[in-house]
Chain A
C-alpha cells in the first residue's frame, strides 16, 4: 500500500511539470509579464535624471518613471518592475532575445533602427539633441571653433556618426576619442584630455553635475542632431506595442487636461467627458488593451502626468521646458512644444 502511494506520488511529481509546461508559456508579452508578476525593463544606470542607480540600489529618473508607469498600468503597482541595466551595445540584443520586455533607455528613434531592426518605437517621451560641452576658458563658442579639437565621445550611440557628419559638413577635422565607459569618458574630459565632450544635451547636463568643477563648463547652444528618445518594443506583439504607446500618451493627455497625481482622486467625479474617458469611467479602452479599465487613472495617481515626471527628474539638471519664454520641444503642444497625445475617444 505504502509502495503504491509512493509510486503514485512519484508519477504525479514527474508528470506535473509536464502538464504545466504543456499548458504552455503565454504567447503574448502581456501574458508573460502577468504570469511572471513583474515587468522587466531594460534601463540605463549611469545617467542622473534619466536612468540612475544610487549606492543603495534604488533606481530613479525619467526613463525609470516610465517603467513604473507601465508596471502601474499592468499591475496597479509601480514597484512591480525589475530593472535590468543594459549597455548601449547590449540593449538591442537584450530586447531581441526577450531578456527584457521593453527598452526604456534613452534610445534614439531612427529609420535604421525602426526599419533595419525588428523593433517598434513608442511615442517620443523626450526630444533630445546632440550638443557639446566645453571649458568656459576654451574660447570655443561655435561649432566651427572645434576645428582640430579632441572630443571625448561614448561608444554605442549615434553620437559618433553625428560627430563625423558635422565635421564633414563644416569642413573641419576633429579627433574622436571613443570610450566604452561613461566614467572613463567623464574622467578623461575632466582631466583635460579632451577639449570638448559630445553627447545628447540631457546626457551632458547629467555629466556636468558630476565633474570636479561643474561651473567651469558650459554647453554650447547649437545642437547637431535630432534625438527623439522613447520606449522600444519587439516586433510581433501589437497588443504590447499598444499598451506601451498609450501608457505614454496617457501621461501626456493627463497633463493637457490638467489631471495630476494630486487631483486625480477628486476628478473621478468630474463631468468632463474627456477626463471621464481618460480615467476609464466611460468607455472600455483599458479592457481592449487587456488591462484594468482604470489603468490610466492608476498611472496618473501612482506615477504622475508628463509634467510631474519631467519636473521631478529632468528639471533639477537645469533643462527647462520653457526657458526665457521660448518653448523647448518638450513643452506641451499648446505651449508651442511637441508633446502631443492623440485624443482619447
Chain B
C-alpha cells in the first residue's frame, strides 16, 4: 500500500526551483530599485536639492484662466487639483464624443453608399496620418482664433455669443423653488421606475418587442412639466452672458482653448476608433447578418441587435488603448494654452523649482487615470465577452 519514493533532493524539486527562481527574481528587482533610490538620494544630496511635498501647501501666486474657481492666494496643491479637473473634463467629454464619431465613421466606411464611404475614408486617412500637435495648432490658430473678435461676436437668439473668445451660453441656475421641484422630480422618477418595471413584465408576458424605457421617460418628463407649472415661480432661471469691457461676462462659457483641444482629440482619436469599429464589424461572419435579415429584422435592428453586440467583443480591447491614448495626448494642451494638469504642473515647477516631486505627481496622476479607465474597460470587456456554455 505505502510505496516509499526516494526523496527528491531540494535542488531538483521542480516546486522548490520554481519558488526559488521567483524569490531570486523579486530580490533582484528590489535590489535594483534600492540602487536607483540610493543613487537618487546621493545625487540629491550632492546637488543640494531638498525632497518633499510640503511645498504643495504654500501659496501658488499665479492665476488659472478656467476651471474651478481659483485665486492666486490658493495653494500649489489646489492649483494642481484645478488642473486635474480640467484634464478630466477634456478626457471625459473627449472619450464620449470620440466613441460616437468613431462608431459613425467606422460604420460609414462600410456603407454601401459610395460617397459616404469615400468621405469616411478620406477623413480617417488624413487624420490618422498627421501628427496630433500639428492638428491642435490648426484647430486653434486656423479655426477658433479666426472667429470674429469679441466686440463683433456672432449673436444667436438665446442669446448665444460666438467669438474668438469662445462660446457663451445662458447658464441655468436654481431659484428658491428648486428644492420643491426637486422633490417632485424624485416622485416622478419613482413613478417612472414603476411604469418601466410594469411595462417590462407586460411585454415579457405578451411576447412582443417594445421600448419600456420610452414609456418611463415620457412619464418622468410629464411629471417634471406638471411640477414646473404647479410651482408659484420657475425653479430654474437663466443667467445671460453680457458683453463686458473686454470679455463676455457671466453665463456658461466654453473657451476656444478647450474647444480646440477637445476637437483635436476627438477628431484624431475618432479616426483610430473608426478603424477599430470597422475591424470589429468585419469580424462578425456575414452569415449572422444574412440570418438576421432572413428573420425579418430591419437594417438598424440588424446592426443594434446582432452585429454590434458580437463586434464589441473584438472592439473593446483595442478601444481601451485608444481611450488611454486620448487621456495621455490631452497633455498637449499646454501647446495651445489650455490649463490642464500638465500645464499647471509646469508652472508650479518653474515657480517652486520642485521638478522631481511634480514630475512624480504628474506621472501618478496620469497613471491613476489610465488604470481606472483600464479597469473600467476590463470590467466592460468581461461583460460583453462571449460566455461559452
Distance of A153 from chain B, by nearest CB (Å): 9
Distance of B139 from chain A, by nearest CB (Å): 12
The answer to whether A180 touches B335, judged by C-beta atoms less than 8 angstroms apart, is: yes
As a 0/1 sequence over residues 49 to 64 of chain B, the CB contacts with chain A under 8 angstroms (1 = contact) are: 1000000000001111
Q: A148-B244, A235-B48 are in contact. Are A192 and B164 (CB under 8 A)?
A: yes
Q: Which of A129-186 contact B (CB under 8 A)?
A: 147-150, 152, 155-158, 160-161, 163-165, 167-168, 174-181, 184-185
Least CB separation from B152: chain A residue: A192
CB < 8 Å neighbour of B245 from A148, A161, A177:
A148
Q: A148-B246, A155-B350, A178-B337 are in contact. Are A192 and B61 (CB under 8 A)?
A: no
B351 at interface by CB-CB < 8 Å: yes
Complex Cα gap A116–B355 (Å): 13
The answer to whether A175 touches B353, judged by C-beta atoms less than 8 angstroms apart, is: no
Residues in chain B near residue A148, CB distance under 8 A: 244-247, 249
A113 at interface by CB-CB < 8 Å: yes
Q: A179-B337, A184-B335, A187-B145 are in contact. Are A163 and B346 (CB under 8 A)?
A: no
Q: A116-B353, A117-B353 are in contact. Are A181 and B335 (CB under 8 A)?
A: yes
Distance of A141 from chain B, by nearest CB (Å): 14
Residues in chain A near residue B249, CB distance under 8 A: 148
B65 at interface by CB-CB < 8 Å: yes
Q: Among A112, A152, A161, find the residue whose CB has the most chain B CB atoms closer than 10 A.
A: A161
CB < 8 Å neighbour of B47 from A96, A150, A161:
A96
CB < 8 Å neighbour of A155 from B63, B140, B141, B343:
B343
Least CB separation from A140: chain B residue: B246
Complex Cα gap A164–B62 (Å): 5
The answer to whether B61 touches A176, judged by C-beta atoms less than 8 angstroms apart, is: no
Complex Cα gap A156–B48 (Å): 22
Residues in chain A near residue B349, CB distance under 8 A: 89
Complex Cα gap A235–B46 (Å): 10
Least CB separation from B336: chain A residue: A184
The answer to whether A184 touches B137, judged by C-beta atoms less than 8 angstroms apart, is: yes
Distance of A167 from chain B, by nearest CB (Å): 7
Residues in chain A near residue B257, CB distance under 8 A: 177
The answer to whether A164 touches B72, judged by C-beta atoms less than 8 angstroms apart, is: yes
The answer to whether A92 touches B353, judged by C-beta atoms less than 8 angstroms apart, is: yes
The answer to whether A184 touches B337, judged by C-beta atoms less than 8 angstroms apart, is: yes
The answer to whether A178 touches B65, judged by C-beta atoms less than 8 angstroms apart, is: yes
A118 at interface by CB-CB < 8 Å: yes
Q: A118-B49, A149-B246, A195-B246 are in contact. Are A180 and B334 (CB under 8 A)?
A: yes
The answer to whether A167 touches B149, judged by C-beta atoms less than 8 angstroms apart, is: no
Residues in chain B near residue A118, CB distance under 8 A: 47-49
Complex Cα gap A164–B245 (Å): 20
Residues in chain B near residue A178, CB distance under 8 A: 65, 334, 337, 339, 343, 347
Least CB separation from A138: chain B residue: B246
The answer to whether B145 touches A193, judged by C-beta atoms less than 8 angstroms apart, is: yes
As a 0/1 sequence over residues 140 to 183 of chain B, the CB contacts with chain A under 8 angstroms (1 = contact) are: 11000110011000000000000011000000000000000000
Q: Among A89, A157, A180, find the residue whose CB has the most chain B CB atoms closer than 10 A.
A: A180
The answer to whether A150 touches B165, judged by C-beta atoms less than 8 angstroms apart, is: yes
Q: Among B164, B245, B247, find the residue whose CB has the most chain A CB atoms closer than 10 A.
A: B245
Residues in chain B near residue A168, CB distance under 8 A: 72-73
Residues in chain A near residue B48, CB distance under 8 A: 118, 235
- The secondary structure that dominates the A interface is mixed
Query: What count of chain B residues pass the 8 Å CB interface test?
Result: 39
Complex Cα gap A96–B353 (Å): 12
Complex Cα gap A187–B347 (Å): 21
Distance of A48 from chain B, by nearest CB (Å): 21
The answer to whether A88 touches B350, judged by C-beta atoms less than 8 angstroms apart, is: yes
A324 at interface by CB-CB < 8 Å: no
The answer to whether B350 touches A157, judged by C-beta atoms less than 8 angstroms apart, is: yes
A31 at interface by CB-CB < 8 Å: no
The answer to whether B245 touches A160, judged by C-beta atoms less than 8 angstroms apart, is: no
Complex Cα gap A163–B61 (Å): 9
Distance of A138 from chain B, by nearest CB (Å): 9
As a 0/1 sequence over residues 173 to 211 of chain A, the CB contacts with chain B under 8 angstroms (1 = contact) are: 011111111001101100111010000000000000000
Complex Cα gap A177–B337 (Å): 6
Q: A155-B346, A156-B350, A187-B141 are in contact. Are A164 and B61 (CB under 8 A)?
A: yes
A93 at interface by CB-CB < 8 Å: yes
Least CB separation from A116: chain B residue: B353
Complex Cα gap A132–B77 (Å): 29
As a 0/1 sequence over residues 240 to 265 of chain B, the CB contacts with chain A under 8 angstroms (1 = contact) are: 00001111010000001100000000
Least CB separation from A93: chain B residue: B355
Q: Among B73, B244, B353, find the residue whose CB has the most chain A CB atoms closer than 10 A.
A: B353
Q: Which of B348-389 contact A (CB under 8 A)?
A: 349-351, 353, 355
The answer to whether A191 touches B347, judged by C-beta atoms less than 8 angstroms apart, is: no
Residues in chain B near residue A193, CB distance under 8 A: 145, 164-165, 256
Distance of B337 from chain A, by nearest CB (Å): 5
Q: A117-B353, A192-B149 are in contact. Are A163 and B246 (CB under 8 A)?
A: no
Complex Cα gap A5–B260 (Å): 70
Complex Cα gap A195–B334 (Å): 20
The answer to whether B65 touches A180, judged by C-beta atoms less than 8 angstroms apart, is: no
Residues in chain B near residue A96, CB distance under 8 A: 47, 49
Residues in chain A near residue B350, CB distance under 8 A: 88-89, 155-157, 160
Complex Cα gap A278–B376 (Å): 72
Q: A164-B63, A191-B145, A193-B256 are in contact. Are A180 and B353 (CB under 8 A)?
A: no
Residues in chain B near residue A163, CB distance under 8 A: 62-63
Residues in chain A near residue B62, CB distance under 8 A: 160-161, 163-164, 176
Distance of B63 from chain A, by nearest CB (Å): 4
Least CB separation from B351: chain A residue: A161
Complex Cα gap A212–B61 (Å): 33
Least CB separation from A196: chain B residue: B246
Least CB separation from B163: chain A residue: A192
Known: A161-B351, A175-B63. 10 other contacts (CB 8 A): A88-B350, A118-B49, A148-B249, A164-B72, A180-B335, A184-B140, A191-B141, A191-B146, A192-B150, A193-B145
In the complex, 23 of the A-B residue pairs with CB atoms within 8 angstroms, ordered by the A residue number, are A89-B350, A96-B47, A112-B353, A148-B249, A149-B246, A149-B247, A150-B65, A150-B246, A155-B343, A156-B346, A156-B350, A158-B351, A160-B350, A161-B351, A165-B72, A167-B63, A175-B65, A176-B65, A178-B339, A179-B336, A184-B141, A184-B335, A188-B337
Nearest 3 pairs between A and B by C-beta?
A164-B72, A191-B145, A160-B62
Which residues does A use to contact B, with CB under 8 Å? 88-89, 92-93, 96, 112-113, 116-118, 147-150, 152, 155-158, 160-161, 163-165, 167-168, 174-181, 184-185, 187-188, 191-193, 195, 235
